[in-house]
């Protein structure tokens, strides 16, 4: 089956939908003794310790989330210290709680469904100050890099992408991979969606941290097999999802050609005593692979569908200027961030919601969004408590910078029901639903468009997390009854598919995971603040 045979995506999507009937009929339970390890461990590879004296980013969070690419002449050099800072604030361990009974629970820089952390980070780099050229795996637990290969292998990635200009001249290219079982242990076949939500959350942090002073580009159009081979992945269990180029300069010559990557056979520790196989995940990933250069050309030529136009003038956003926001630096926001476990019913302000929505809609530097300001997503929401705005259902038009009211009513019960009958959605001030014209997306991008739309939803969700925490609010990602969401927002959302949900509001104090002790891991650094 090829990428253009989109029946694969439709079948996978239909098979992994939630409904009130499917959830009530489900007899699945979590096998806690068999929970997979949250860390990939290479016991026998050489390691490079990452420095811990990098600075805490003190730039304004709103500025970082809305900033444009830094000019070449203002970019600092990419070195191992910068790499350490980017990796830490994207996917590092930030906190540790010791729970009753002595169990340790780790928090990481980016949100993750179920705190299962199925995303691994790798770096393919040329010689940069403090780090030799090579292929490395990032170990957040040890705060080290495991060296898989020595030498400059960037050409392998550039070739696999069809010489994508976003990769040429980049001294370092990060690769985000997904470990199937780590997410499937809880979410089963639906875990494939979660891999992209979770990698999107990491990408949101990465763009905020690195994009302040470096060029960052996300590439999802690449031939899968050469990259999986380079990382020596067992593709029945782990696969490459996205490439992220740092400081690409197309004017620089392409790196030298290297020999094909030979199998490494690098030993890594087992995640669980036993893994349950969900072939739907592998089948969907295989069907969305690119294997030919012609497929890369089609990917680059694809255009995002245009979203619905705003009817009438709507309610214009009134975002808060960055300089007037809370003077809480980006690093501090990331360190404090955590998924909210309980909301109260206090309203948020219209300026706060406007700020969240305006930053969510800022341009994403990704190869599947070739049009300036384009998106694969349409944003709908249920407003429960926003000062000056009637409660009800709304559509948000980024192009117009305004909300369109679809219906006015108290919809707390509806919000809770749509999100698997979870109180979080009912109690939140606003519950934001990402939807998409999946018919048009798959027609343009093939099955791989399914990866892209899920990833973009996770990335925008991550931006909402950071903005909400900067504003002193809470946020959490949620799942949903798929078809019921479409029906609820129809006729306006007719023909659209629910992709992801994020709830925002005032967090109840103590509405996070409780424990006896809290300490920061690998923190604080010994360096001074930026």
Q: Are strands 315-316 and 378-383 parallel, antiparallel or unpaired?
A: unpaired
Distance from C-alpha of 486 to C-alpha of 481, rounded to nearest angstrom: 9
What confidence category does residue 327 fall into, taking pLDDT thresholds of 50, 70 and 90? low
The helix/strand/coil state of 111 is coil
- Long-range CB pairs of 23-29 (<8 Å, 24+ gap) are 23/420, 23/481, 28/188
Distance from C-alpha of 311 to C-alpha of 79, rounded to nearest angstrom: 50
Distance from C-alpha of 401 to C-alpha of 379, rounded to nearest angstrom: 12
Residues 166, 3, 179, 451: is their CA dihedral positive or negative? positive
* Structure confidence by residue, pLDDT tens digits, 349-365: 999 999 999 999 899 99
Average pLDDT estimate for 104-118: 93
Average pLDDT estimate for 387-405: 97
What confidence category does residue 500 fall into, taking pLDDT thresholds of 50, 70 and 90? very high
Contact 436, 359 (CB under 8 A): no
Distance from C-alpha of 177 to C-alpha of 121, rounded to nearest angstrom: 6
- Give yes or no for residue 393 having a pLDDT over 60: yes
Contacts of 430 by beta carbon, 8 Å cutoff, 6+ apart: 348, 353, 381, 382, 383, 384, 385, 386, 503, 504, 505
The helix/strand/coil state of 90 is helix
pLDDT at 517: 37
User: How far apart are the two ends of the chain, measured CA to CA in Å?
Assistant: 51
* Structure confidence by residue, pLDDT tens digits, 501-522: 999 999 997 644 444 434 454 5
Contacts of 340 by beta carbon, 8 Å cutoff, 6+ apart: 424, 474, 475, 476, 503, 505, 507, 511, 512
DSSP secondary structure of 431-459: EEEEEE-HHHHHHHHTTHHHHHHHHHHHH
Give the least confident one: 37-51, 61-75, 203-217, 386-400: 61-75
Distance from C-alpha of 478 to C-alpha of 229, rounded to nearest angstrom: 34
Contact 30, 210 (CB under 8 A): no
DSSP secondary structure of 174-231: EEEEEEHHHHHHHHGGGHHHHHHHHHHHHHHHHHHHHTTTS-EEEE--S-HHHHHHHT
* Structure confidence by residue, pLDDT tens digits, 453-478: 999 999 999 999 999 999 999 999 99
What confidence category does residue 256 fall into, taking pLDDT thresholds of 50, 70 and 90? confident
Q: How many residues does the chain have?
A: 530
Q: Walk me through the domains of the chain, giving residue ranges and CATH numbers.
A: 39-259+276-301 (3.40.109.10), 315-505 (3.40.109.10)
pLDDT at 527: 39
């Amino acid at each position: 089956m090829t990428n253009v045979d989109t029946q694969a995506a439709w079948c996978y999507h239909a098979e992994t939908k939630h409904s009130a009937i499917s959830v009530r009929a489900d007899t699945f339970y979590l096998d806690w003794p068999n929970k997979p390890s949250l860390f990939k461990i290479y016991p026998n590879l050489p390691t490079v310790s990452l420095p811990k004296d990098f600075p805490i980013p003190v730039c304004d969070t709103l500025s970082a989330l809305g900033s444009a690419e830094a000019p070449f002449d203002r970019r600092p050099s990419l070195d191992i210290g910068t790499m350490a800072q980017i990796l830490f604030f994207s996917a590092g361990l930030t906190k540790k709680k010791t729970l009753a009974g002595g169990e340790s629970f780790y928090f990481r820089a980016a949100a993750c469904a179920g705190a299962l952390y199925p995303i691994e980070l790798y770096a393919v780099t040329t010689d940069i100050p403090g780090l030799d050229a090579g292929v490395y795996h990032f170990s957040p637990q040890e705060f080290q890099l495991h060296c898989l290969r020595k030498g400059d292998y960037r050409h392998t990635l550039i070739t696999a992408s069809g010489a994508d200009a976003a990769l040429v001249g980049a001294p370092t290219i990060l690769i985000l991979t997904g470990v199937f079982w780590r997410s499937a242990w809880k979410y089963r076949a639906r875990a494939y969606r979660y891999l992209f939500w979770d990698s999107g959350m990491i990408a949101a942090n990465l763009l905020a941290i690195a994009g302040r002073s470096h060029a960052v580009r996300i590439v999802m159009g690449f031939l899968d097999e050469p990259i999986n081979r380079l990382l020596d992945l067992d593709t029945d269990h782990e696969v490459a999802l996205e490439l992220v180029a740092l400081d690409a300069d197309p004017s620089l010559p392409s790196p030298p050609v290297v020999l094909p990557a030979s199998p490494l056979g690098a030993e890594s520790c087992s995640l669980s005593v036993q893994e349950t196989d969900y072939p739907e995940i592998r089948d969907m990933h295989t069907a969305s692979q690119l294997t030919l250069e012609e497929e890369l050309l089609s990917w680059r030529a694809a255009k995002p569908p245009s979203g619905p136009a705003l009817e009438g003038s709507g309610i214009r956003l009134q975002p808060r200027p960055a300089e007037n926001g809370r003077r809480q630096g980006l690093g501090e926001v990331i360190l404090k961030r955590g998924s909210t476990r309980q909301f109260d019913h206090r309203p948020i302000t219209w300026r706060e919601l406007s700020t969240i929505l305006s930053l969510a809609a800022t341009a994403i530097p990704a190869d599947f969004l070739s049009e300036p300001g384009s998106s694969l997503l349409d944003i709908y929401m249920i407003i429960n408590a926003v000062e000056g705005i009637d409660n009800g259902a709304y559509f948000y038009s980024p192009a117009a910078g305004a909300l369109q009211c679809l219906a006015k009513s108290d919809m707390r019960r509806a919000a809770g029901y749509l999100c698997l009958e979870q109180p979080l959605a009912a109690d939140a001030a606003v519950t934001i639903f990402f939807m998409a014209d999946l018919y048009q997306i798959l027609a343009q991008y093939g099955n791989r468009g399914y990866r892209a739309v899920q990833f973009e939803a996770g990335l925008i969700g991550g931006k909402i997390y950071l903005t909400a925490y900067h504003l002193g609010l809470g946020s959490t990602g949620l799942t949903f009854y798929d078809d019921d969401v479409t029906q609820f927002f129809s006729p306006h959302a007719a023909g659209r598919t629910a992709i992801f949900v994020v709830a925002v509001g005032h967090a109840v104090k103590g509405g996070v995971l409780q424990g006896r002790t809290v300490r920061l891991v690998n923190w604080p650094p010994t360096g001074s603040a930026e």
